Amino acid sequence: MLLNQKNCNGFTLLEVLFVLTSLSVILLLFPTINLDAIEKQQEKQFLETFQFDVLYVQSLSTLNTDEKVFIRLYKDHYKILQGTKKTIAERFYPSGLLIDPRGNADIIFNENGTFLYPRTIKITTKHAVYDAVFQLGKGRFYIAEK
């Protein structure tokens, strides 16, 4: 009687192929969603860092009267400079981010913490367009999404 019983403890080949196919489809779709979220987070982090750097330069300009501390914008990065030679920090833009300084590539404050060249700087990312508004007079700037 034991010889006629079938052993049904395993999976069929069709069941295994179905599960592997389902997993491969899920794994193919998942990284594209995550990469987009990671890019958005990198852009957000860059904008926050840029804001903090501008406020840092503004506070340094009120303390240091010997050499000007300013931010110089380049095509793929910006630098925080003291005088013409000393680099305090250098930050690279995330991929796909463009900054249009609209004429003057320097963000400079006087000894009172006032912007020397008030203007709007256009920041374009893969997901949005922002305006960094440097207002006339003493005060903080802001970044607004268009």
Q: What is the DSSP string of 122-145?
A: EEE-SS-EEEEEE-SSBS--EEEE
Given the DSSP bridges, would you call strands 119-124 and 98-100 parallel, antiparallel or unpaired?
A: antiparallel
Question: What is the pLDDT, as a whole number, of residue 5?
Answer: 60
Question: What is the pLDDT, as a whole number, of residue 94?
Answer: 92
Question: What is the pLDDT, as a whole number, of residue 116?
Answer: 87
Query: For residues 92 and 110, what is the distance between their CA atoms, to the nearest angstrom?
Result: 26
Question: What is the pLDDT, as a whole number, of residue 92?
Answer: 95
- Where do the structural domains in the chain lie, given as residue ranges? 21-145
pLDDT along the chain (146 residues), means of 10: 62 90 88 80 94 92 82 94 90 92 88 87 93 82 90
Question: What is the pLDDT, as a whole number, of residue 18?
Answer: 94
- For the domain spanning 21-145, the CATH number is 3.55.40.10
Name the pTM for this structure: 0.75
